[in-house]
Amino acid sequence: MNNQHQQNLGSLFTDVSYQVVSEIYKHDHHYCIIYLKEDQKKNYLKELKKSFVEVDQFEVNGQCFIILDVSSQIKSSAQEIAQLLSERELQIATLVALGQANKQIAHRLHISEWTVATYLRRIFAKLGVDSRAAMVYRCASLIQLLQSDFDVQELATI
């Protein structure tokens, strides 16, 4: 499982009683296989089913697993971020997620470093975060969806 997907899922499954053991992408759906600790199984199954669509449930060696379709949650999280940020803010957030420094972003977008820093402060305020890492974490679901529309890595080389 790559780091970007881990970040994305981290925002969906924050409780320590859940463990994402695998992800499956098929067509436009994103499925997660979740391991549930035995002592919390009943309570957490109810909670998970409130937010996600259960596809299947199974046991292996006495351990409970559930397959959930998390597509709608990822899309709604991405839509929320997309509504908060302007197009330019999304460009800057994406370039930060690709590891670009302010100087590189400024050069690429033909703006000053000061302007990049100003955009970042605005993004931080809108998302309620205080670091580049936290911003990338919050934007991961949107960036992942954008990857299906165009090659985000291509943006880093433009």
Tens-digit pLDDT profile for residues 29-48: 778 888 877 766 666 667 77
Asked if pLDDT for residue 64 goes beyond 60, the answer is yes
8-12 contacts, C-beta under 8 A, 24 or more apart:
8/74, 8/140, 8/141, 8/144, 9/70, 10/137, 11/77, 11/137, 11/138, 11/140, 11/141, 12/51, 12/70, 12/73, 12/74, 12/77
Checking if the pLDDT of 85 tops 60, the result is yes
Cα distance between residue 88 and residue 111, in whole Å: 11
Q: Which class is domain 73-147?
A: mainly alpha
Look at residue 26 in the predicted model and tell me its pLDDT: 74
According to DSSP, the residues that pair with 29 across neighbouring strands are 26
Q: How far apart are CA 95 and CA 111, in angstroms?
A: 14
The residue with tokens 């197009």 is 87
Domain boundaries, the chain: 18-71, 73-147
pTM: 0.52
Top-confidence range, 99-103, 124-128, 131-135: 99-103
Q: What is the pLDDT of residue 72?
A: 65
Look-up of token digits 């985000």: 152
